[in-house]
């Protein structure tokens, strides 16, 4: 593993992970979240000459602007699931409006039936949105991914596993040249044991991006317990990371009520347990090759 940087002007590594949105449930902009960011999930992985995005929360808008002037791009978008915080950025994804671009979307089956394309289309209809998705001129394809599927995006290997969440949700392991990144959001840990699907994604991974929406204290709070809400804690994530020999643990999908001060404290406590752990923030780039 090489360096971590948020300098946008460095030479882009051959294999990198960049965070455009790290917040769960709903965007949380404002003066108390400027350090870690308020946008909902969007992670960019560059590997093997491909640009692979995971989820299209509100963070995808800024990603789109960063490549707006470079048409002709092939983009692959892996969807974990279709909860609002993971799809809401798509109508604002500039490159989708340009005919030169090609967008391949992969996602789990839709729990209510119907097509993945309809999930995207149906959030761009009155009274929610002024223009229909047909206005987007990029060439788009939508393919279903089932739990345990393995496939390739160019030279990059993808493995999908079902997560423990309130809708059909997939975690992904992205591997190129023996380097792996595991994306595990949204998921709830299983009390008293480690989730074998999450372990399969995380085993020996260089980076584990994990749904650490809560702390153990919040999760177990007798007055307002969060068990059954479909999310996990950084303490449970570290157990997976340590058991699976993960290189770097990245806590992700922050609760919108967790302000910068809270997340700084979380990071401190996490790093006392695991020096290679960090809290994801918008603009974080992890170079892997």
Q: Which residues bind Zn ion (CB under 5 A)?
A: 24, 83, 85, 186
Residue at shortest CB range from Zn ion? 83
The residue to which tokens 């604002």 are assigned = 92
Identity of the residue, 23 or 46, whose beta carbon is nearer to Zn ion in the bound complex? 23
Closest distance to Zn ion from the beta carbon of 253 (Å):
6
Closest CA to 184 of 155, 219, 213: 213
CB of 37 to Zn ion, least distance (A): 15
Q: What's the min distance (Å) between Cβ of 32 and Zn ion?
A: 20
Of 30, 100, 104, nearest to 71 by C-alpha is: 100
Nearer to Zn ion, 59 or 287 (CB): 59
Minimum CB separation from Zn ion for residue 123, in Å? Answer: 15
Residue placing its CB nearer to Zn ion in the complex, 175 or 187: 187
When the beta carbons of 92 and 97 are compared against Zn ion, the nearer one is 92
CB of 57 to Zn ion, least distance (A): 8
Which one, 85 or 188, has the nearer CB to Zn ion? 85
Determine the Cα angle at 240 with ends 86 and 84, to 5°: 10
Q: How far apart are CA 41 and CA 83, in angstroms?
A: 11
Q: CA 53, CA 180: separation in Å to the nearest integer?
A: 15
Task: Indicate the SS3 state at residue 106.
Answer: strand
How many Å from the N-terminal Cα to the C-terminal Cα in the chain? 7
Q: Spell out the residues 6+ positions from residue 118 whose beta carbon is closer than 8 angstroms to its own.
A: 110
Burial per residue of 84-121, b for 16 or more beta-carbon CB atoms within 10 angstroms, e otherwise:
ebbbbbbbbbbbbbeeebebbbbbbebeeeeebeebbe
Rounded Cα gap, residues 190 and 176, in angstroms? 30
Between 131 and 227, name the residue whose CB sits nearer to Zn ion.
Answer: 227
Q: How far is the CB of 164 from Zn ion (least distance, A)?
A: 11
């Amino acid at each position: 593993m090489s360096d971590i940087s948020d300098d946008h002007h460095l030479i882009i590594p051959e294999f990198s992970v960049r965070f455009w949105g790290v917040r769960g449930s709903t965007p949380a902009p404002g003066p108390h979240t400027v350090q870690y960011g308020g946008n909902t999930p969007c992670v960019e992985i560059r590997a093997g000459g491909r640009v692979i995005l995971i989820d299209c929360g509100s963070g995808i808008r800024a990603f789109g602007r960063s490549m707006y002037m470079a048409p002709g791009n092939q983009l692959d978008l892996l969807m974990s699931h279709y909860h609002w915080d993971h799809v809401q950025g798509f109508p604002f994804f500039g490159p989708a409006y340009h005919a030169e671009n090609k967008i391949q979307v992969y996602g789990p089956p839709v729990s209510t039936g119907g097509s993945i394309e309809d999930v995207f289309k149906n959030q761009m209809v009155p009274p929610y949105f002024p223009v229909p998705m047909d206005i987007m001129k990029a060439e788009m394809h939508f393919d279903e991914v089932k739990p345990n599927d393995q496939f390739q995006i160019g030279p990059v290997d993808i493995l999908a596993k079902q997560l423990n969440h309130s809708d059909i949700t997939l975690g992904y392991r992205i591997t190129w040249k023996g380097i792996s990144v595991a994306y595990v959001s949204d998921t709830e840990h299983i009390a008293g044991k480690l989730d074998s699907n999450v372990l399969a994604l995380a085993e020996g991974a260089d980076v584990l991006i994990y749904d650490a929406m809560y702390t153990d204290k919040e999760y177990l709070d007798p007055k307002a317990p969060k068990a059954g809400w479909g999310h996990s804690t950084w303490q449970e994530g570290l157990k997976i990371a340590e058991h699976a020999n993960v290189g770097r643990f990245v806590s992700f999908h922050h609760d919108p009520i967790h302000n910068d001060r809270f997340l700084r404290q979380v990071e401190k406590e996490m790093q006392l347990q695991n020096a290679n752990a960090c809290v994801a923030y918008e603009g974080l780039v992890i170079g892997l090759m």
